[in-house]
Amino acid sequence: MDATILKSQRPFSIKLWPPSQNTRQMLVTRITDNLTSKSIFTQKYGSLSKEEAEENAKRIEDVAFVAANEHYENEPDGDGGSAVQFYAKECSKLILEVLKRGPARKEGGEILASKQVDGEALASKEVAVSRDIVFDISKGPRAFIEAKEAEDILSPLKEPGNSYTKICFSNRSFGLEAARVAEPILASIKDQLKEVDLSDFIAGRPEEEALDVMNIFSAALEGSILKSLDLSNNALGEKGVRAFGALLRSQSCLEELYLMNDGISEEAARAVCELIPSTEKLRILHFHNNMTGDPGALAIAEVLKRSALLEDFRCSSTRIGAEGGIALSEALETCSHLKKLDLRDNVFGVEAGVALSKVLPKHAGLTEVYLSYLNLEDEGAIAIANALKESAPALEVLDMAGNDITAEAAPVVSACVELKQNLIKLNLAENELKDEGAIQISKALEEGHVQLKEVDMSTNSIGRVGARVLAQVMVQKPEFKLLNINENCISDEGIDEVKEIFKKCPEMLGPLDENNPEGPDDDEESGEGDDNQHDLESKLKNLEVTGED
């Protein structure tokens, strides 16, 4: 069965992330108030003028949103609640940093707008985020951009001596005339560019016009020495990939390449393999949500064989079956520096799962492994768990949800989990582990695992006993944030017991409103997400500066 169909049959869940534009603007207003209103922090460091506060507030929210979105990308299976918390915390930290710096002033005392927000807000990135180096027109609603507006918007790129090294044109749809305006501007700065984001920049254009626009941008940027290139969300297909041929062929130093949601078929995948002459420096390759299939996977496997330094490979939701899964698995043997592997939502099956298990011992540096919804069944899951036991000592995330894993495989999976003392997140949702499997997983996590933050055992036909044991173990973990055991078979008494265990920290227990004490049935479930943004705004409206760390 197609993975897309399988995915559509999963139960509905409310998503708190990403926030709407209204919610983001609400937060900017709140940040502005924090920077101008009287508080213990403004009394200590001084407040900003409304004008300076508004400009800083926009930048703070931008940086926090990017960081929180990256956090959500790394943990995409939740409702987004942790991303919301991360978002608010980053904003709070950045507000304090701006207040501690105080108003910027010229010699005559005139207040200047702060040029940058400390790059620590991006957590994993060690560079400052500055408008002097990043030119980004992606904020605000999606919109077409025509020639006159392009001249106005792109004018900073024409300023002599500008130091922009990254451009982001995402979320703005360029027409042919706008592309012609951009062409000489991009050609004039291409030698200084290191990162180019052209994701979602031709939306709504007729195919012929979109291809012409891509050819123009490709020619303008040909010969640039880029470290990062993002062409996602452009419905490229083979024609689109080849429209970027001049740019792709000229790249020999790429470290990051993003081709997500691009309609990349077998032919398009072959074009990617053909047009990128060198991937020997590639560290990140994201190929999510395409229509690649097995033949296309064979072409991507060839790219992997040339990418010995690859650290982060995402090839999720790409309709790849057993043949393609085996080819990718074998090619991954080359990538001995791999840290993050994401193959979710494909149709590998047992055979490809076993093939992958033979390669995993080669990857001692793995920290995140996402293998949910691959039809692994017990045999594939056992093979992978055994392989991980012998490798990846620093594993932090293990995701094997939706693989028809039963209690029969639980001893091996548990033995693997027990050895992974650095685990932060464990996702075994939508399997058939039942009480027996839940108890074994609990016992595996009982000793150590002091960094564990999240465990998802939802939809596993777990009853009262398994739920109670899971709760008793997780509530003891010093860093624990969330246990999800919803959509199981826990009795009302069992739910009361679990809530009692978490009575001092109820926020660590996920919702329990969809448990069925009589066992699962086949009734179609549905839900409404109309209130999700309201819930998000409620979480953010009380944002305060909370401290100096």
DSSP state letter for 317: S
Domain 405-518 has CATH 1.10.1370.30: no
pLDDT band at 208 (very low <50, low <70, confident <90, very high): very high
Distance of CA 530 to the CA centre of its chain: 23
Name the nearest CA neighbour of 261 among 208, 318, 206, 312: 318
* Amino acid symbol at 245: G
Q: Where are the domains of the chain?
A: 21-101, 405-518
Give 21's contacts (C-beta < 8 A, 6+ positions apart): 140, 141
- Domain spanning 21-101, CATH class: mainly alpha
Q: Is pLDDT above 60 for 534?
A: no
- Asked if residue 351 lies in contact with residue 322, where contact means CB atoms within 8 angstroms, the answer is yes
Give 73's contacts (C-beta < 8 A, 6+ positions apart): none
**Number of Cβ within a 10 Å radius of residue 156:** 13
Q: Strand 312-314 vs strand 340-342: parallel, antiparallel, or unpaired?
A: parallel
Distance of CA 548 to the CA centre of its chain: 28
- Taking the model in full, what pTM does it have? 0.72
* Residue where the block lists tokens 């047992």: 350
357 three-class SS: helix
Exposed e or buried b per residue across 414-446, where buried means at least 16 C-beta atoms within 10 angstroms of its C-beta: bebbbbbbbbbbbbbbbbbbbbbbbbbbbebbe
Mean pLDDT of the chain: 86
**Quick one: pLDDT at residue 51?**
77
Q: Is pLDDT above 90 for 127?
A: no
Mean pLDDT, residues 292-318:
97
**Quick one: pLDDT at residue 37?**
79
Distance of CA 335 to the CA centre of its chain: 21
Q: Strand 104-105 vs strand 111-112: parallel, antiparallel, or unpaired?
A: antiparallel
- Asked if residue 352 lies in contact with residue 318, where contact means CB atoms within 8 angstroms, the answer is no
Instruction: For 37-54, write each residue's pLDDT tens digit.
Output: 777 666 666 777 877 888
Which of 1-15, 123-137, 247-261, 412-426 has the least mean pLDDT?
Answer: 1-15
Cα-based distances in Å from 437 to 91, 407, 434, 511: 41, 5, 6, 21
What the block records as the tokens of 335 is 């990538």
Ranges of beta strands (E only) in 265-336 are 284-286, 312-314
What the block records as the tokens of 60 is 């703070």
pLDDT band at 190 (very low <50, low <70, confident <90, very high): very high
**Quick one: pLDDT at residue 112?**
35
What the block records as the tokens of 119 is 């790059």
**Quick one: pLDDT at residue 524?**
37
- Asked if residue 259 lies in contact with residue 232, where contact means CB atoms within 8 angstroms, the answer is yes
Length of the chain (residues): 549
Range of 43-57, 414-428, 534-548 with top mean pLDDT: 414-428
**Quick one: pLDDT at residue 10?**
45
Question: In angstroms, rounded to a whole number, what is the distance separating the alpha carbons of residues 198 and 343?
Answer: 24
Q: Is pLDDT above 90 for 436?
A: yes
Instruction: For 60-109, write each residue's pLDDT tens digit.
Output: 888 888 888 777 777 665 677 777 888 888 888 888 878 777 665 433 33
pLDDT band at 512 (very low <50, low <70, confident <90, very high): very high
pLDDT band at 546 (very low <50, low <70, confident <90, very high): low
Ranges of beta strands (E only) in 70-159 are 104-105, 111-112, 116-117, 129-130, 134-136, 143-145
Cα-based distances in Å from 90 to 10, 60, 72, 77, 122: 32, 8, 14, 21, 9
